[in-house]
Structure 1
Amino acid sequence: MPRLPDDDEWIARERRAIGDRIRVTRLRQNRTQESVFLEARVARSTYQEIESGGADTRVGTLLRIARVLGVHVADLLRDR
Protein backbone atom coordinates (compact mmCIF):
# COMPACT_ATOMS: atom_id res chain seq x y z
CA MET A 1 0.00 0.00 0.00
CA PRO A 2 1.44 3.40 -0.97
CA ARG A 3 2.41 5.69 1.86
CA LEU A 4 0.15 8.70 2.30
CA PRO A 5 1.73 12.11 2.86
CA ASP A 6 1.89 13.43 6.38
CA ASP A 7 -1.63 14.58 7.28
CA ASP A 8 -0.63 18.06 8.46
CA GLU A 9 1.48 18.70 5.36
CA TRP A 10 -1.20 17.36 3.01
CA ILE A 11 -3.98 19.38 4.68
CA ALA A 12 -1.94 22.59 4.55
CA ARG A 13 -1.20 22.02 0.85
CA GLU A 14 -4.88 21.37 0.07
CA ARG A 15 -6.01 24.46 2.00
CA ARG A 16 -3.55 26.58 0.02
CA ALA A 17 -4.85 25.08 -3.24
CA ILE A 18 -8.47 25.86 -2.28
CA GLY A 19 -7.49 29.41 -1.35
CA ASP A 20 -5.69 29.78 -4.68
CA ARG A 21 -8.78 28.63 -6.58
CA ILE A 22 -10.95 31.11 -4.68
CA ARG A 23 -8.49 33.95 -5.35
CA VAL A 24 -8.15 33.09 -9.08
CA THR A 25 -11.93 32.89 -9.48
CA ARG A 26 -12.36 36.23 -7.71
CA LEU A 27 -9.67 37.95 -9.76
CA ARG A 28 -11.08 36.60 -13.05
CA GLN A 29 -14.30 38.37 -12.09
CA ASN A 30 -12.41 41.59 -11.26
CA ARG A 31 -13.78 41.49 -7.72
CA THR A 32 -12.12 42.69 -4.55
CA GLN A 33 -11.78 40.59 -1.43
CA GLU A 34 -14.05 43.09 0.28
CA SER A 35 -16.88 42.65 -2.20
CA VAL A 36 -16.78 38.88 -1.71
CA PHE A 37 -16.49 38.73 2.07
CA LEU A 38 -19.20 41.34 2.56
CA GLU A 39 -21.65 39.59 0.23
CA ALA A 40 -20.79 36.16 1.68
CA ARG A 41 -21.17 37.51 5.23
CA VAL A 42 -17.69 36.33 6.22
CA ALA A 43 -15.37 38.30 8.49
CA ARG A 44 -12.55 40.06 6.64
CA SER A 45 -9.84 38.24 8.59
CA THR A 46 -11.50 34.86 8.04
CA TYR A 47 -11.81 35.46 4.30
CA GLN A 48 -8.18 36.56 4.07
CA GLU A 49 -7.08 33.44 5.94
CA ILE A 50 -9.13 31.23 3.60
CA GLU A 51 -7.57 32.79 0.50
CA SER A 52 -4.08 32.43 1.98
CA GLY A 53 -4.71 28.80 2.91
CA GLY A 54 -4.38 29.39 6.63
CA ALA A 55 -7.97 28.75 7.69
CA ASP A 56 -9.57 25.43 8.43
CA THR A 57 -12.95 26.67 7.27
CA ARG A 58 -16.48 25.37 7.61
CA VAL A 59 -18.42 23.92 4.69
CA GLY A 60 -21.12 26.56 5.12
CA THR A 61 -18.57 29.33 4.66
CA LEU A 62 -17.21 27.72 1.49
CA LEU A 63 -20.76 27.30 0.20
CA ARG A 64 -21.48 31.00 0.72
CA ILE A 65 -18.24 32.05 -0.98
CA ALA A 66 -18.97 29.73 -3.92
CA ARG A 67 -22.48 31.15 -4.29
CA VAL A 68 -21.16 34.72 -4.27
CA LEU A 69 -18.58 33.80 -6.91
CA GLY A 70 -21.21 31.99 -8.99
CA VAL A 71 -19.45 28.62 -8.96
CA HIS A 72 -20.24 25.24 -7.48
CA VAL A 73 -18.40 24.55 -4.24
CA ALA A 74 -16.87 21.45 -5.88
CA ASP A 75 -15.04 23.78 -8.28
CA LEU A 76 -13.25 25.29 -5.29
CA LEU A 77 -12.43 21.92 -3.77
CA ARG A 78 -11.02 20.03 -6.73
CA ASP A 79 -8.26 20.71 -9.18
CA ARG A 80 -9.72 21.20 -12.63
Structure 2
Amino acid sequence: MRELPDEDGWLRSRQRQIGHRVQAIRQQQNLTQDALYLAARLDRRTLQHLEAGTGNPTMATLLRIAYVLDVPLTDLVR
Protein backbone atom coordinates (compact mmCIF):
# COMPACT_ATOMS: atom_id res chain seq x y z
CA MET A 1 0.00 0.00 0.00
CA ARG A 2 1.29 3.46 -0.90
CA GLU A 3 1.13 6.37 1.49
CA LEU A 4 -0.14 9.74 0.37
CA PRO A 5 2.45 12.47 -0.07
CA ASP A 6 2.42 15.29 2.46
CA GLU A 7 1.57 17.79 -0.27
CA ASP A 8 -1.65 17.68 -2.34
CA GLY A 9 0.01 18.83 -5.57
CA TRP A 10 -0.50 15.42 -7.13
CA LEU A 11 -4.23 15.71 -6.45
CA ARG A 12 -4.54 19.09 -8.17
CA SER A 13 -2.58 17.70 -11.11
CA ARG A 14 -5.02 14.79 -11.50
CA GLN A 15 -8.00 17.18 -11.26
CA ARG A 16 -6.52 19.24 -14.10
CA GLN A 17 -5.96 16.10 -16.19
CA ILE A 18 -9.58 15.02 -15.74
CA GLY A 19 -10.80 18.51 -16.61
CA HIS A 20 -8.69 18.59 -19.76
CA ARG A 21 -10.02 15.19 -20.83
CA VAL A 22 -13.62 16.29 -20.37
CA GLN A 23 -12.94 19.47 -22.32
CA ALA A 24 -11.09 17.64 -25.12
CA ILE A 25 -13.84 15.04 -25.58
CA ARG A 26 -16.52 17.73 -25.49
CA GLN A 27 -14.69 19.76 -28.14
CA GLN A 28 -14.09 16.67 -30.32
CA GLN A 29 -17.85 16.22 -30.34
CA ASN A 30 -18.36 19.89 -31.23
CA LEU A 31 -20.33 20.54 -28.06
CA THR A 32 -20.36 23.80 -26.16
CA GLN A 33 -20.13 23.92 -22.39
CA ASP A 34 -23.74 25.08 -22.40
CA ALA A 35 -24.87 22.03 -24.37
CA LEU A 36 -23.00 19.66 -22.05
CA TYR A 37 -24.06 21.11 -18.72
CA LEU A 38 -27.69 21.33 -19.85
CA ALA A 39 -27.75 17.77 -21.21
CA ALA A 40 -26.02 16.42 -18.09
CA ARG A 41 -28.32 18.49 -15.84
CA LEU A 42 -25.39 20.13 -14.10
CA ASP A 43 -24.81 23.61 -12.80
CA ARG A 44 -22.82 25.73 -15.27
CA ARG A 45 -20.18 26.53 -12.65
CA THR A 46 -19.71 22.85 -11.84
CA LEU A 47 -18.68 22.13 -15.41
CA GLN A 48 -16.58 25.28 -15.68
CA HIS A 49 -14.66 24.41 -12.51
CA LEU A 50 -14.25 20.80 -13.55
CA GLU A 51 -12.81 21.73 -16.96
CA ALA A 52 -10.53 24.30 -15.35
CA GLY A 53 -9.21 21.62 -13.01
CA THR A 54 -10.34 23.50 -9.93
CA GLY A 55 -13.47 21.49 -9.20
CA ASN A 56 -13.92 18.41 -7.11
CA PRO A 57 -16.60 16.54 -9.04
CA THR A 58 -18.71 13.87 -7.46
CA MET A 59 -18.96 10.40 -8.94
CA ALA A 60 -22.52 11.26 -10.03
CA THR A 61 -21.25 14.32 -11.92
CA LEU A 62 -18.59 12.30 -13.72
CA LEU A 63 -21.09 9.56 -14.55
CA ARG A 64 -23.55 12.10 -15.97
CA ILE A 65 -20.86 13.63 -18.15
CA ALA A 66 -19.62 10.25 -19.36
CA TYR A 67 -23.19 9.21 -20.18
CA VAL A 68 -23.96 12.37 -22.15
CA LEU A 69 -20.64 12.21 -24.00
CA ASP A 70 -21.25 8.48 -24.61
CA VAL A 71 -17.82 7.48 -23.34
CA PRO A 72 -16.77 5.08 -20.59
CA LEU A 73 -16.06 6.73 -17.26
CA THR A 74 -12.51 5.43 -17.53
CA ASP A 75 -11.94 7.70 -20.56
CA LEU A 76 -12.40 10.67 -18.25
CA VAL A 77 -10.38 9.51 -15.25
CA ARG A 78 -7.60 7.34 -16.66
Alignment TM-score, normalising by the size of structure 1: 0.89
1:56 alignment counterpart: 56
Superposed CA deviations along residues 7-64 of structure 1, whole A, max 9, x for unmatched, are: 4100100000000000000000000000000010110011100001101110010000
Unpaired stretches in structure 2, ≥5 consecutive residues: none
Cα distance, 1:29–1:6 mapped onto 2, change above 3 Å? farther
1:40 alignment counterpart: 40
Unpaired stretches in structure 1, ≥5 consecutive residues: none
Aligned AA for 1:69? L
Alignment TM-score, normalising by the size of structure 2: 0.91
Q: How many residues align?
A: 77
Identity %: 44
Report the alpha carbon displacement of residue 6 of structure 1 after superposing the two structures with TM: 4.7
Residues 60-79 of structure 1: pairs in structure 2 closer than 5 A: 60-78=60-78
